[in-house]
Amino acid sequence: MFQQNEVVTLILGIGVLVFFIGRSDLSHIPAWKTFLASYALLLLGWHFTVLEDVCLPEITNLLEHICYATSSIVFAIWCWRVVRGRREARE
């Protein structure tokens, strides 16, 4: 059955996403779409984590890790864009 901590993580993750989506001030964050994409992939991974306990554990587990890996790459890209962008702006 579902693991409690995984479900809580998923609910918190969805809550954070709902809180920020639709807020116009989100656009103040540089490269915010990239950042949001990274978070969305992470959130998707949490979905698969929960699903892993219900059905197709191998596939959902694989998908979960794919989401984590992709999310990490996108996060790294976002960090790179922010740091580079600010440095260029400063120069």
Partner 1 sequence: MIILLLDIVALLATLAAGILLVRAWRYSRHEILGRDVWILLVGLTGLIIFRNTSNMLEWSGITGSLDFQEDYVELMLPVAFFLVLWTFRQHESRRELRESEEKYRSTVNSMLVGIFIIQDLKFKYVNPAMARMLGYTREEIEDKLSPMDAVIPAQRELIRRNAIRRASGEPGYLYEIKCLRKDGSVFDAVVHGEGFTYQGRPASVGSFLDITDRKRAEERFRLIAQVSSDLIYEWDSTNDTLEWFGDIDGLLGYQPGEVVRTIEGWVKLIHPDDQARIANEVERHRTTTEPIQCEYHVKARDGSWRYWSDVGVPVLDEDGKPARWIGGCLDITDRKLAEQERESLENQLRQAQKMEAIGQLAGGVAHDFNNILTAILGNAELSLDALRRKLSADDPALQGLGQIQQSAERAAALTRQLLVFSRRDITQPEELDLDQTLSEMEKMLQRLITEDIALEIVCGARHQYVRADAGQIEQIIMNLVVNARDAMPDGGQLTLETATVMLDEVYVATHAEARQGIHVVLAVSDTGCGMECQVRERAFEPFFTTKPAGQGTGLGLATVYAIVKRAGGHVLVYSEPGQGTTFKVYLPVIEAPTEVRHEAGGSDPLPSGDETILVCEDDETVRHLTVHLLEDAGYTVLGADSATDALKQAAVYQDPVHLLISDVIMPDINGRKLADSLTAQRPKLKTIFISGYTSNVIAHHGVLDEGVEFLEKPFSRRVLLQRVREALDKPSQEIVPAPDA
The residues of the shown chain that bind partner 1, judged by CB under 8 A, are 5-6, 8-9, 12-13, 15-16, 19-20, 23, 25-26, 28-30, 35, 39, 42, 46, 61-62, 65-66, 68-69, 71-73, 75-76, 78-80, 82-83, 86-87, 90
Chain centroid to CA 85: 22
**How far apart are CB 44 and partner 1 at their closest, in Å?**
13
Q: Which is nearer to partner 1, 54 or 59 (CB)?
A: 59
The three-state (H, E, C) secondary structure of the chain, written as one string: CCCHHHHHHHHHHHHHHHHHCCCHHHHHCCCHHHHHHHHHHHHHHHHHHHHHCCCCHHHHHHHHHHHHHHHHHHHHHHHHHHHHHHHHHHC
Q: How far is the CB of 82 from partner 1 (least distance, A)?
A: 7
55 vs 88 by CB, closer to partner 1: 88
Shortest distance (Å) from residue 56 CB to partner 1: 14
